Structure 1
Amino acid sequence: MKTSYRILFTILIQHDFYTQAESFDDIEIIPTLKSRSAFEGNRILYRFVKNRFTAMIEVDGDEPFVNINSDTKLRFILKLKNPSFSNFSGIKLFGLNDRIYYFSNRSDNETGNVLYLSKSIPGHDPGDEYEVGSLIQSGQDVFEAISDNTTLPPPGIGWRKLLKNRFPAFDQNNHSDIHKGNIVSDNSGTKNFEAIKFIPRGQAVSLNDLSYWKEVTGLQYVTPEDLIERKFISVSKYDIMDHNEIFPGDVLFNPGDSKLYEALKYIEKGNQVHVSNAGYWKESDVTKFVISEDKINSGENIFGIIDLFFDGSVPVNHRMLDGSGNVKETEYAIRFKNRISTWKYISQKNSVTSLTDTSGVYNFIKNSNEFTSDTPVPLLLKPIQKFKLDADTGSQTISVENIKCASADIKPIKATKSFVSEIYLNY
């Protein structure tokens, strides 16, 4: 008998710091033990490669071979693999406290036919304290904070509209490999396009070719709206008289002795199995838990949580099954903005006389041997900025184009909730 599978869902993590979408490999998506059991019980295979988590389900025609209960919930842990992630990502850095990110298919956030698991970018709130790089939505436009003068909404001086030309310009006759998901701008810098399939190096493909490109009309990013207190992802207490089904590996808190226990076997709903039964329970070796109210919080270094639901609370377009119970091959996205910082060039030999942006977007202000951008500049793994310096070495006057750009290292400035990137020049 032939076994058939279809994609149940895909979770794609995207980041503007990377000009090549396939380069992103900084976050790991890990199903919880209970979710792995749900995968097995519903005949779902899964894999995670770089920035894409894919789940394949066995089907009979277009329907799941095993009927998925509407109360099924799939939970995933997000772990950071790159310790520098917060340096180059436009995420909250000041006052984060013990919060983590929470994403869900209940978000009801769809833009440009993309189903985001993050909440919609919020509007302006005069009572908020915005970090430089914070995003707000105003009408059809997204603005980012460029200073701490953000009490007034756009067009207040503390804000600037996200520019279309923040992505690399595309030269159809001279380009490297373009992978699915890469975003480029046209030569005018007024439109952005996303590749919908791979384009090999040197293949001339016009941005008007809809079989390769789709115009990007809007993007949604992770914001502080997606942060939750860690206690909300806690494990439950174990009530021997009233509990749901328990899966091997589940860790529960026993109020009787205030200890954590890990289930060794499946326990049916309502089956009264005392924690002293060594055939079903063992005392958990997890020690980094804090009891808060009637929740238990993991002290593990968790960056975020993803929950996927199958019940009626999920917006129609975000559901994985259609009204007839057929698999829709749903694709979800989580997108991070790259951080912006004030770039400060330091002339170590005090010979630089001027520093300019050949594209005319940024200006640099000279103060002694330092040249500081008058507005924050985006950080990119492969910078697209083209800055030029002029220097007087004493024996000659020289000009150097395409000087080095800022790395992922930043200096947080708490007083102004801003960030500085220092670049040292050998001139």
Structure 2
Amino acid sequence: MRTAKIDIVYVVIGWILTIFSVVMLYRQGVIRSFFHQDDVIELAVVADWQGWKTVGHLNNEHLNIIFWPLLRAEWLWFGTTYPAYLLMNIVLHVIVLSLMFSITYRLTKSFVWASVPVWGMVINSSWFTVVWWITGQMFFLATIFALLSYWVILKIIERPKSKVLVPVLYILSILPGLSWGIGLTWPIWPFLVFGFDYLKKRVNHIGYTLIAAQMTLGIIYLSLVGSNLSVHTDPKTWLSNPPAIINFMIMGLSKTVVGRWLWPGENLRASVVSILIVLVLTLIYRSRRKLLDNHILFGFVVAIGSFVTLAVPRWKFGIEHALANYYAYFPLSFLLIGVAVLLYRMKLTGIKRVLIMSIFLVHIPLSWTGFESWAKPWVVRPQQTRAYFAELNSTHPGSCLENRFIPEYVVPQNIWRIDFLWPIFKKDFDPFCNKKNEP
């Protein structure tokens, strides 16, 4: 009875902090942020819509077939009204949190433990740029479709004779790879855990569906990509340096995903210490129960597999890419579900239960400190871009603009001129007095 009362207190506090964090993410974003470099470029791409050519447009090695039509629709509706795009990001983030709760509740039948991954995910310095960055919608989409396919796998396990769920799983397993590059190998990871019967040594019906999805993704990718990848993402070089790939993966997992979550205050040394403490506690924990199950294992498999997928084409960009905080969003959602299931299976009571739940609750305000350390420098350029967009948007017919290069605080390379951005503003006149582009 005492445990139940304590749980109620923690659940109430946890969800109040969760709702507060979601509201503050939006409010702070509206006040402090605006379109970032990639957002500006992508708005220009969808403003100059060229049908299927735009849908198949590559971002380095990433296919964003689902993202481009969504961004096009938003641009048609919202124009350059940043708060509307930000609201869409908040909605997508809430969908991710809802799916995490739903999946964990299905696995634990516990409202308390189903809430834990939500508290761990609602705000974190590991990924905050995903919410304020309109480009983050491709990360949200990949995560949502992957979580949905996981949810369908759980339904198939419950109802193995269902014929409707199999084609649904096939479609949902393809969509993460059409949203963002990290999803290109998505079907592999649930296949390793749920698609192969290791006792009977045979592929089950979930496995055959995932194999078909992975083959379909490969065909789509190869047919659309062709020879369009840049020199930095040439597939011939992807596996040419295994040590660099492994280092990229280890750095990304230990510092970006786990390290920043365990110590959101952006002190990497403290993160390393926190990781070691967690490992020691895990090793010394003894239980007569067999704690690990497929769903706990799956969280770790997805986290590792995600960074393998990122590392193979991206190690040439440098190790700092492994520390890009937005990479944490996709794997962290699955890792936290696995951790919540593990904690549930440990049957914690008394002070141990209180301590664990306190860690997740304290993590929310602590994450805001890490968030702030990232936000201060990150919003400088978007704030400058806000003023620049306001200046361009105030241009009237009869004005005479010199077609200069876009300022470096908007796009830090002298590649595009103002006429590249002009369609974004939906003006029906040409303001350029001289379109002669001199090198």
Band the TM-score falls in, shorter-chain normalisation: under 0.3
Higher Rg of the two aligned structures: 1
TM-score normalised by L of structure 2: 0.23
Q: TM-score, normalised by structure 1?
A: 0.23
